[in-house]
Structure 1
Amino acid sequence: MNAMPRLSRRIFLALALCTASLAQAQLSIEITGAGANRIPVAIADFQGENVAARVVAATVRSDLERSGLFRLIDTTGAALDENSPINHADWKSRGADALAAGSVRRSPDGRLEARFRLYDAQQAVSLGGAAYVTGNEQLRAAGHRIADYIYEKLTGERGVFSTRIAYVVKSRNQYLLQIADADGQGAATALTSTEPIISPVWSPDGSKLAYVSFEKKKPVIYVHSIASGQRHIVANFKGSNSAPAWSPDGRRLAIVLSKDGNSQIYSVSADGSGLQRITQSAGIDTEPRFSADGGSIYFTSDRGGSPQIYQVGASGGEARRVTFEGSYNVSPRPSPDGKSLAYISRRDGRFQLAAMDLASRQVQVLTDSHKDESPSFAPNSRMILIATEVGGRGVLSAVSSDGRIKQRLTVAGGDVREPAWGPFVK
């Protein structure tokens, strides 16, 4: 029973984050691993408004490169817009499987329009294109959209470059709940508090965050509107209120309450009404997450003597154990596609990210680090974001579901914790 108090402290107590200034709260990203067979793609210099065109093209290139699935072909000296004639034989000889060309031009009403077209250089055919109306402050967003289009056309999977992530940083004894683009850029602070903020989770439509704040000198669950900044309390019962998780339809939250003794799992409407108890055990039940179809809830419990992952119906019932390898498995996170379950497993004294194929029950350890926690899937199930430690400092890492592609996101001079990857952008 020594492991579960450690788990409880991690969930309920303040985060040990080092000091970082507000100016330093921008994430920087480093690629530490790539896929085995990367797709060679050329992104020509976009034409039109020079500065704006450079920003959009650079964003597209950066997105594709950091995904680990693409190898950029040198396009030095090639400035092409979406209507330029394409010498497919030339690009094929350069080794490109695909080529993107585009422009950013100002429309009569003063707005900017980013246009592009994607080509299959090997087959010498167009793969389509799109146009996005944007402003100077949204140029990178247009680049993310173009990168998403290219990613989906060339891989068959939906891209996540336009999505957002949330995380917590401490700065000068203030806790910052921040929201940034998936590449760590454009960070903005949603909430500042002198008390810890933990366990942020995105609503399925991406309009709200639920999280736990200690501003009332105890853990209380809030739901926070991203657009308005308004928020309301969902759970402030006697004892601890922790570990919120949204149902796939966004109507309810699974939460953990200790109001009746040990921590147990409940569900509650997003407005705080309709509280229902889900689990009934003599142990500690915590860290709930709804399955992709919303029909069940995965959670961590020590009811069997050591922390393991269990599954119970969304309305309650008998729970069944899911993890059997090792004596410590916590923080279950089912993938959005319902095919796998990520979690943290202790192996040889190291806390590492593992993933279970839910069909075969085969388990793969995805990281070689020592202190992984708080896994969060990308909405296309391709990548998993985690908090970990490097050189004694908290950083975020992203690893592909097969363990091959790795990224590291850091904040200069400080620690960052509690990552949450947002849903697809509508």
Structure 2
Amino acid sequence: MPKFLFHYVLLPLLLLCSLSVRANDLTIEVVGGGTNRHAIALPEFGLESALPGGLTPIIQSNLARTGVFSFVDPNKVNNRPIDPAQIDYPAWLGAGTMSIAVGKVTAGAGGTITVEFHLFDAARKTRLTGASFSIQPNQSRQLAHRIADMIYEAITGKKGIFGTRIAYVIKHSANSYSLQVADADGANGFTLLRSSEPIISPAWSPEGGRLAYVSFESKKPVVYVHDVSSGSRRAVANFKGSNSAPAWSPDGSRLAVVLTRDGHSQIYAVSANGGEAVRLSNSNAIDTEPAYSADGSRIYFTSDRAGGPQIYVMGAGGGSAQRVTFEGNYNVSPTPAPDGTALAFVRREAGRFRVMVQETATGQANYVTDTHYDESPSFAPNGQMLVYASEQGGRGVLFTVTRDGSTKTRLTTSGGDIRAPVWGPYPR
């Protein structure tokens, strides 16, 4: 069996089978040094301590992972504003503040709470964004994500991703695996599926309501589509041989899958509701890991048709393929950015597996990770960050990294082993 297929199909599976895990909440630790540009102050919102986890700590944690912000220490300024009229602009400017967010929490009717939030340009004293929200107390974390999204968009002009979700696979014991869904920061995780057999290759549908994945529950790999809200699911690729590596078309109507029903791994298209499969690739090599381009016109994939694993692209309807990667002799796991401006993939070089990002406009590819065994890169829906899996201390952990590689954040569990992360789309 070619080495690239072993490493990116069998080896993660063997690691899942060999390592035990406790399903604890994910925690966040920023381990990269990033270039922080925009100095923002986030003094504690009035009465936010009454909410689980508060608001400003979650907002700051979200913004820190982007590599865009630095944070002014509120303890260095003798001013604790919770209303715009209370902001001492000269004091905050003296501390290097470029923008300042203020807010307060008040009790509402029927057990609800009201959160008022404003973001101001410290030099111009102008309001950049803000709103008033009425929520239940248990919705405070989601609101913190929304406020972070508003701040990020007001400062960068790009849409935030803190209200999105990730999915990943975790192993609980020798015969217990689960497919997990969590917020983009790793909190609020829940189990979508538990199985006594391995689960691999989760993939979000474009609207964010369904997950495709591969389950071995019938003692062979079968592709399922699972509705996240209702919990209903169905097998959509259960042909003779192996059924693996599902990838959604941008319109959500079909999946590209890898089947061995004709003797060796080739790429096919199948309806998201199941049905007959249409062969797309036609080679004597192993073609695997399909991924649709952002506009749905092409499919990227990994193949050893040139002797070693490289990335190729073909039309979404099949046909001839063109090679995409030429540097290095081992490039796998293509993942196009949602806006079509970049392609992430994994390169092996000097025994290390690292995530690369290749810019579409220039063709320039750069390393964005620096550990030894990195896999499964997946772009955030705004294309500015990625989530990926790595290995530390003999177990799988998750990281996020900015597109330029400047800021890396570890999402980890105590004694756990996590694999195959995928970042979900914006909710519709």
Which secondary structure does the structure 2 equivalent of 1:33 belong to?
coil
AA at the equivalent of 1:52: L
Distance 2:151 2:255 in 1: 35
AA at the equivalent of 2:72: I
Shift of 1:3: 2.1
Partner of 2:156: 155
**Range that drifts further, 107-116 or 228-237:** 107-116
Shift of 1:78: 4.5
Shift of 1:390: 1.6
Shift of 1:109: 3.3
Partner of 2:215: 213
Q: Deviations over 1:211-264 (max 9, x none)?
A: 001001000111111111111111110100000011111111111111111111
Distance 1:128 1:394 in 2: 39
Cα RMSD, aligned residues only: 1.9
Distance 1:64 1:391 in 2: 28
Partner of 1:44: 43
TM-score calculated relative to the size of structure 1: 0.95
> Alignment identity in percent?
50
Partner of 1:301: 303
Structure-to-structure mapping, 1:15-94, within 5 angstroms:
15-16=16-17, 18-22=19-23, 24=24, 26-48=25-47, 50-52=49-51, 55-76=54-75, 78-94=79-95
Distance 1:224 1:352 in 2: 31
Partner of 1:332: 334
Which secondary structure does the structure 1 equivalent of 2:147 belong to?
helix
AA at the equivalent of 2:150: Y
Contact 1:371 1:388 in 2 (8 A): yes
Partner of 1:236: 238
Partner of 2:319: 317
Shift of 1:425: 3.1
**Range that drifts further, 193-202 or 177-186:** 177-186
Q: Deviations over 1:380-400 (max 9, x none)?
A: 111111111122221112221
Q: How many residues align?
A: 424
Shift of 1:287: 0.3
Q: Which runs of 5+ in 2 are unaligned?
A: none
TM-score calculated relative to the size of structure 2: 0.94
Distance 1:92 1:17 in 2: 54
Shift of 1:156: 1.6
Distance 1:61 1:415 in 2: 27
Structure-to-structure mapping, 1:170-185, within 5 angstroms:
170-173=171-174, 174-185=176-187
Q: Which runs of 5+ in 1 are unaligned?
A: none
Distance 1:188 1:82 in 2: 37
Which secondary structure does the structure 1 equivalent of 2:169 belong to?
strand
Contact 1:286 1:299 in 2 (8 A): yes
Contact 1:311 1:320 in 2 (8 A): yes
Distance 1:376 1:314 in 2: 20
Q: In the superposition, relative to structure 1, how do residues 79 and 274 fare at CA in structure 2: closer, same or farther (>3 Å)?
A: farther
Shift of 1:335: 0.6
**Range that drifts further, 328-337 or 353-362:** 353-362
Structure-to-structure mapping, 1:20-419, within 5 angstroms:
20-22=21-23, 24=24, 26-48=25-47, 50-52=49-51, 55-76=54-75, 78-173=79-174, 174-273=176-275, 275-419=277-421
Contact 2:66 2:385 in 1 (8 A): no
**Range that drifts further, 239-248 or 8-17:** 8-17
Shift of 1:180: 1.1
**Range that drifts further, 41-50 or 401-410:** 41-50
Contact 1:11 1:243 in 2 (8 A): no
Q: In the superposition, relative to structure 1, how do residues 201 and 133 fare at CA in structure 2: closer, same or farther (>3 Å)?
A: farther
AA at the equivalent of 2:137: N
Distance 1:291 1:11 in 2: 27
AA at the equivalent of 1:10: L
